[in-house]
Amino acid sequence: MKFFLDSARVDEIAYGLEMWNLDGVTTNPRHVQAAGKPFLVAIREIAGLFQGTDKPISVEVNPHHSDHRAMVAEAEKLAAISPNFVIKLPATEAGFKAVAVLKEQGIRSNLTLVFSAGQALQAMRMGACFVSPFIGWKEANGEETRGLIEEIVAIRDNYGFATEIIVAAVRNGRQVVDAAVAGADIVTAGFDVYKELFDHPYTHLGLARFAAFWDQTPYE
């Protein structure tokens, strides 16, 4: 499974690349706003961290766009900034259409705000490079999500679509593991989620005990 960081903060991304060997990054308007920089400044700085790699960076078009032609026009400008950029589009009729147009131009897309297997299916049919089902939001409303991921994986595999599945809006380590068990290709999560996922109190307890034994044993 690939790990993407869901962030637009350069310090978090740089840390993740160095310490966790991140496979990519996803951003959205909330993350860019939290970074405290203009949109283009923020995404260009992120692109600089990935220069010379083939790791994808998802950047989102203006969410006010409701016409596929406006989405495509902005996508073309964003894609020209960095070869790492993958264009995030909403799972709407206009977004699906924009995916097909961009595919013909060789521009990769990531269909975001996916909440059903039907939306994911249409994204794959239209040629999305990535599809991002959101699980955190659904679970917050009492909906089961592991079955959703399994359905999307099965649909992709049944028809041989090339789309990679990014499980998004991940809130805890259990959801990361569930996504892996369900067969998702990628999970994208925030910095704190990964910090917790890679840690466990029993590891520290065991290390402290082993250190005590080590200190009581001659080295030579």
Which residues are the active-site residues?
A: 88
Among 108, 123, 54, 50, residue whose Cα is nearest residue 78: 108
Distance, in Å, from the CA atom of 189 to the CA atom of 168, rounded to the nearest integer, reads 7
Side chain identity at residue 3, one-letter code: F
Contact at 8 Å (CB) between 131 and 163? yes
Helices within the chain (DSSP H only): 10-20, 29-35, 39-49, 68-79, 93-104, 117-126, 136-140, 146-159, 173-182, 191-197, 201-215
